[in-house]
Amino acid sequence: MNIVLLGAPGAGKGTQAAKLVDKYGFAHISTGDILRAAVKNQTPLGIEAKKYMDAGDLVPDELVIGLVKERLQDDDTKEGFILDGFPRTSTQAVALSSELTELNRPLDAALLVDVDKEVIIGRLTSRRVCRDCGYIGTEADKVCPKCGGEMYQRDDDNEATVRNRLDVYESSTAPLIDYYRGCDLLVEINGDQDPEVVFADVQKALNL
């Protein structure tokens, strides 16, 4: 099964992707990871992408799609893939669809993990991270329950920054949701539940 993963920062997409990978063996394809790997391995596309990244510019769509196509040649994608972080706009979605059709690997679903904006703000602003081991907890954790280290709030988890990130997400991604709804590929899941309940809903909605 081939899936595009959609959802706001803090909606729990990563948790659901990990569960799908563990249970069904899908390849989790994060475009950020692909870019970093291509740059590190100095592939032709990676060398090209690095020029834009070093200049602080966005990597062009055609380059990112080229990297995704390259990644889809790997053996671990044969059981299916979960594309995370791309496409981000309907223009990218159209281009991606064309390339996937050419590869005979069309999408089966665009999975939207949907959580109310105020719930996400509450989630992210209460998030705390251990300075020593990276454990992610909540403001109730005064010290890390894993290693006893100091828990702190990341700079980008303050309310003003979180609201801005969500506004950017909504303005850029709302058209993408409409695009996949128009393609009859959109599957919406209520992400404001226990992660196991969300996963059960995901499996049911995807007929897994």
Question: Which residues does the annotation mark as catalytic?
Answer: 13, 88, 127, 154, 165
How far is it, in rounded angstroms, from Cα 188 to Cα 202?
A: 9
Residues 6+ apart with CB under 8 A from 198: 12, 15, 16, 113, 189, 190, 191
DSSP H helical ranges for the chain:
13-24, 31-41, 44-54, 61-71, 90-102, 117-125, 159-182, 195-205
Q: End-to-end CA distance of the chain, in Å?
A: 9
The helix or strand, by DSSP H or E, that contains position 113, with its residue range, turns out to be strand 109-114
> Residue 6 belongs to what H/E stretch?
strand 2-6
In whole angstroms, give the CA distance from residue 48 to residue 64. 11
Q: How far is CA 50 from CA 8, 11, 32, 56, in A?
A: 27, 30, 12, 10
The residues pairing with 83 across neighbouring beta strands, listed in sequence order, are 4, 29
